[in-house]
Structure 1
Amino acid sequence: MIGELIIFIITSTFFYYLYVYKKIHYFFERRGVKFLSGVPMFGNMYDSTFAKKHYVEDLNAVYRAFPDEKYVGLIEGCTPIVLIRDPDLIKMITIKDFDHFVNHKEFFDKDIDPLFGGSLFMMKDDKWRDMRVTLSPAFTGSKMRLMMNFMSEVGHNITDHIKEHISDEFNVEDLVRRYTLDVIASAGFGLQINSVKDKENEFFKMSTDLFVSNFNRKLAMYICSQYPLFGKKLGLKIFPEEITSFFKKTITRTMDYREKNNVVRHDMIHLLMEASKGTLKNTSIEKDDVGFATTEETLKPRSVTRKWTEDEIISQLFTFFAAGFDSTAGAITFSVHELAVNPEVQEKLYQEIKGFEEYGKTLSYENVAQLKYMDCVINETMRKWPPSIFMDRVCSKPYKLPPPREGGKPYQLNPGDIVYNMVNVIHMDEKFHPKPEVFDPDRFSDENKHKIQPFTFMPFGMGPRNCIASRFALLEMKVFLYDLILHYKIVKSQKTSYPVRLKKDDFRIKACGGTYVKFESRT
């Protein structure tokens, strides 16, 4: 297998340079699109592929190379991609002309990664629409009310654990991942786990191994995404079989037990079991809003009702788990870090929470939106450290982009062409967000949020293909911060890094060296 891989790499490199790479250059040149030439075989992603820079830094270099362009050319491996820089164009692609850009690009084939490959994220066209409409009732306000209790129970476990180890220096990422894992285990899988006490429980171990980033996995991801047929021939897998089998068996056993014993627990497994039977209904009639960043559902059901297999339902739960465990953990981790290095922000948030408590209120789904400054803190965290790097879309029918600049010519997109609607680098563009490196929650205050240009703040994506679980994620973040700030002051420790440097060998937004703080009791 190693010999085949070496021969493949050498042959591919030669072929790429003589044909593919020069063809990509010509592809952009004859269309009048500016681009950076990059490195053969790796395009503009050479530095991030070999962990010299973070993936976002490679994208940022292309984004900032041509500041007056509405879009530029990006070379990702052997694929030409149109990188969208203009907020108005992002609106056109993600909302107004969405029917031309319904699908994500195929990162991994279903044969290579059955659970992720069969998820809502990777579904296409009418099948995606039907699954999205089927799942939407599971994420309405009426369902989130029921799940908020699970979050609160786990949050209390975290604050109790900190109390027992108050003199320790805490690895925030590890602490938060145990919180988000336990929330997902409870709200998603119906499992009662306390990962801060039982640190080596099997669920946590398997979940952590799922997101390990190493050279072998990065190489497999690169081959499977750029050369899927060769990846299949080599039998490459993105996630180890042991881990995916564990999750599948856990979900299947739970579903079988509940079905046989008529067990009802209002968590995600129950909701998806209803969805598979076609009995999941949207019972929410109010306009739910747990924060400024909450996304809205815009799709209407088709007249055809599709039946879903058990494997398809399991894939959705697995993806819900992956996003809820890892992506939300990253956002909460950076919230804690920013509060530690910005004590004036933390004090203002504490005063809001303290006043809320003194007024005799108990945090609930109905009143969480009243914590205005907390919402500002969460929004500013997701502006500066958004878990979503870009919104990729594949053109499904011919579409003409306006000229990239005054005096330029329109760009014809054809079916199969890929565009990246940028998120992270737009969030950090001083043209849209003055002093972007400064953590300033007041950007999102009622007095200031109208100044934020539409489509320059997109932490959960935009349009019909936005994050279906934005309410869940926002509640998960707010419940954690509420309990934490009410009981403890977050302070810098000797290992607190500032400014943060991104971990270069990881595709995700993570701090190099981890994030460490100490806690002081407020009583």
Structure 2
Amino acid sequence: MFLELIIFLTTTIVSYYLFIYKRNHYIFDKNELKYVPGMPVFGNTFKSMCQKVHMVEDFDEVYKRFPDERYVGYCDGTTPAILVRDPEIIKDITIKDFDFFLNHKDLFPENENSVVGANLFNMKDDRWRDMRTTLSPAFTGSKMRLMMPLMVDISKNALEYLKEHQSEDILVDDLIRRYTIDVIASAAFGLQVNSFVDQENEFYKSGQSLFGFTWIQQLTMLFFFQFPNFSRKIGLKLFTDKITRFFQDIVAATMDYRLKNNVERPDMIQLLIEATKGTLHNGNESKEKDIGFATAEETLKPKGVTRNWTKDELASQVFIFFAAGFETSASAITLTVHELALNPDVQEKLYEEVKAFNDTKGKLLYENVGELKYLDCILNETSRRWAAALFLDRICTKPYELPPPREGAKPVKVKPGTLVYMAVNSIHMDPKYYPEPQKYCPDRFSDEKKKLIQPCTFMPFGSGPRICIGSRFAMLELKVLIYYLVLNFKILKCEKTMNPIKLQTKDFNIRVAGGSWARFEARS
């Protein structure tokens, strides 16, 4: 029996080595792609999966290894992928030849609870296209104008909290996530929540449960990425039924109540109700002012066929809106606060702008928020330095030919199903595009200099038709809070403020190791 077990294990290991691990290398060699061999099972993701580094550093290691290549091979666990380094090819893949690279890889198992698995990010092909065009009117400037007062009111709750905790070391991560969870509760679900007062409310706990991954959830995610087909067969779930039911129930109950009682409110639930009725349309956007350099206009046009969506499908869109609006926005604001604490000269310049703006305008509105030019520069620089997007991924859907990876090499024919990555953070930190990339320098995004930024070298919200649909909402959420924080408080370093910043390795999202800490001193 023991001998049989040894033979079985030996055969399994040898088979894996020859038919999976070495197969990836053979594919790269055949296409004349340079690559880092990586580790069995983990490929080039070994260090991040073992929580030795953040995942962006795994991408960065391969990106930097071959500075003269336009693209290289990347071992995504057991899956052979292509890591594109060249901005022109990124532009082709994400914009010009978008129809060849329409889909993302699966973020969640397809049999994941419907509210999780049926979201816009996970949808594919025409189903994605139809949902995107259904939802795009919900994120136009006219809709954001209605939501901005909700953000302003919630930012004042944060200011009240800080007034009561002056001269204390504040865990900025916690402070900001309470702000973003309250914004999402109000702007998405129509609920008035004050997480600064009610510290253990159900919304905040649900957000923490979603992103405070246990080691079991991390192993589950790893298993799904490495063995997606088997994971679907066994019904693998990343989130508990309790969490997903929370979102399903609250969306369904709120929609039913409003429909029965003719209640209207400027939030995502209202927009979804309009979508179910077929009455959600673009407003008059011709006179809209852009609110930031990083935001993007919708480029996808409807096909003319209107799909009827179920409540569960629409609830899933609120779920992904919750997930993105809570965690990624929180990361961006937290890193901005941290950088302002480390760069008092930048903070003082921003204070001069917001003070002058407050003295002359009196009130922050959607119509005038775009006038805060230096605030926009700061948020762009944070997004460059600490991009929440991490990377872009696309799945090839039709046979495609890439130009040669280097001069003298042959073009590479990409087969349908091939995974393609674009390392956003690595490009943002490449001195070829941004001199002294480690330096926090908002002036890179001044009106004069941002015109010189090469296309597809600044992609905090992605690129092309699959760019983040909520970029305008996210920038508003960031600008409102940073404006009021700097107007009312000096953000100061304390003993716990990490300098230089290092990333926490156990999180998928961007967080500072040990947390971001600062003190807030009220301005006279």
Please state which band the TM-score falls in when normalised by the shorter chain: over 0.9
1:12–1:467 distance in 2 versus 1, CA, 3 Å = farther
Residue 433 of structure 1 corresponds to 434
Code of the aligned partner of 1:375: D
**Partners in 2 of 1:163 and 1:515 — Cα distance?**
19
Which residues of 2 match residues 45-64 of structure 1 at below 5 A?
45-64=45-64
Residue 251 of structure 1 corresponds to 251
Code of the aligned partner of 1:134: T
Q: For 1:323-382, what per-residue CA distance to the aligned partner results, in whole angstroms no more than 9, with x for missing partners?
A: 000000000000000000000000000000000111143110000000000000000000
Secondary structure of the residue aligned to 1:254 is helix
Q: What is the Cα deviation at residue 500 of structure 1? A: 1.1
**Partners in 1 of 2:75 and 2:268 — Cα distance?**
39
**Partners in 2 of 1:264 and 1:165 — Cα distance?**
37
**Partners in 2 of 1:414 and 1:161 — Cα distance?**
55
Q: 8 Å contact 2:289–2:370 — kept in the other structure?
A: no
Residue 203 of structure 2 corresponds to 203
Code of the aligned partner of 1:170: I
Secondary structure of the residue aligned to 1:359 is helix
Q: 8 Å contact 1:188–1:317 — kept in the other structure?
A: yes
User: How many percent of aligned residue pairs carry the same amino acid?
Assistant: 56
Code of the aligned partner of 1:457: F
1:10–1:424 distance in 2 versus 1, CA, 3 Å = farther
Q: Does 1:442 align with 2:443?
A: yes
* 246-255 or 27-36, larger mean C-alpha shift: 246-255
Q: 8 Å contact 2:396–2:417 — kept in the other structure?
A: yes
Q: What is the Cα deviation at residue 10 of structure 1? A: 9.3
Code of the aligned partner of 2:352: Q
1:360–1:24 distance in 2 versus 1, CA, 3 Å = closer
**Partners in 1 of 2:153 and 2:9 — Cα distance?**
51
TM-score scaled by length of structure 2: 0.96
Residue 511 of structure 1 corresponds to 512
Residue 3 of structure 1 corresponds to none
Q: 8 Å contact 1:214–1:505 — kept in the other structure?
A: no
Residue 97 of structure 1 corresponds to 97
**Partners in 2 of 1:473 and 1:13 — Cα distance?**
47
Q: 8 Å contact 2:60–2:423 — kept in the other structure?
A: no
Q: 8 Å contact 2:69–2:85 — kept in the other structure?
A: yes
Residue 339 of structure 2 corresponds to 338
Q: What is the Cα deviation at residue 15 of structure 1? A: 3.7
Q: What is the Cα deviation at residue 107 of structure 1? A: 2.8
Q: What is the Cα deviation at residue 13 of structure 1? A: 5.2
* Runs of 4+ that moved beyond 6 A: 8-12
Secondary structure of the residue aligned to 1:83 is strand
Residue 67 of structure 1 corresponds to 67
Residue 181 of structure 2 corresponds to 181
Q: 8 Å contact 2:59–2:423 — kept in the other structure?
A: no
Residue 83 of structure 1 corresponds to 83
Q: 8 Å contact 2:71–2:82 — kept in the other structure?
A: yes
1:259–1:14 distance in 2 versus 1, CA, 3 Å = farther
**Partners in 1 of 2:258 and 2:481 — Cα distance?**
30
Q: 8 Å contact 1:13–1:40 — kept in the other structure?
A: no
1:242–1:13 distance in 2 versus 1, CA, 3 Å = farther
Q: What is the Cα deviation at residue 250 of structure 1? A: 1.3
Residue 24 of structure 1 corresponds to 24
Q: What is the Cα deviation at residue 468 of structure 1? A: 0.5
Q: 8 Å contact 1:353–1:371 — kept in the other structure?
A: yes
Residue 290 of structure 1 corresponds to 291
How many residues align? The count is 516
* 382-391 or 101-110, larger mean C-alpha shift: 101-110
Secondary structure of the residue aligned to 2:514 is coil
Residue 498 of structure 2 corresponds to 497
Residue 225 of structure 1 corresponds to 225
Secondary structure of the residue aligned to 1:464 is helix
1:501–1:13 distance in 2 versus 1, CA, 3 Å = farther
Secondary structure of the residue aligned to 1:429 is coil
Q: 8 Å contact 1:35–1:73 — kept in the other structure?
A: yes
TM-score scaled by length of structure 1: 0.97
Q: 8 Å contact 1:195–1:204 — kept in the other structure?
A: yes
**Partners in 2 of 1:229 and 1:416 — Cα distance?**
14
**Partners in 1 of 2:232 and 2:129 — Cα distance?**
28
Secondary structure of the residue aligned to 1:307 is coil
1:9–1:302 distance in 2 versus 1, CA, 3 Å = farther
Q: Does 1:313 align with 2:314?
A: yes
Unaligned ranges ≥5, structure 2: 1-7
Q: 8 Å contact 2:109–2:236 — kept in the other structure?
A: no
Secondary structure of the residue aligned to 1:110 is coil
Q: For 1:230-280, what per-residue CA distance to the aligned partner results, in whole angstroms no more than 9, with x for missing partners?
A: 324544311121111111111111111111111111100000111122110
Secondary structure of the residue aligned to 1:266 is coil
1:223–1:72 distance in 2 versus 1, CA, 3 Å = same
Residue 4 of structure 2 corresponds to none
Q: 8 Å contact 1:173–1:333 — kept in the other structure?
A: yes
Code of the aligned partner of 1:277: K
Q: For 1:76-122, what per-residue CA distance to the aligned partner results, in whole angstroms no more than 9, with x for missing partners?
A: 11100100000000000000011111111123222134223201111
**Partners in 2 of 1:225 and 1:37 — Cα distance?**
19
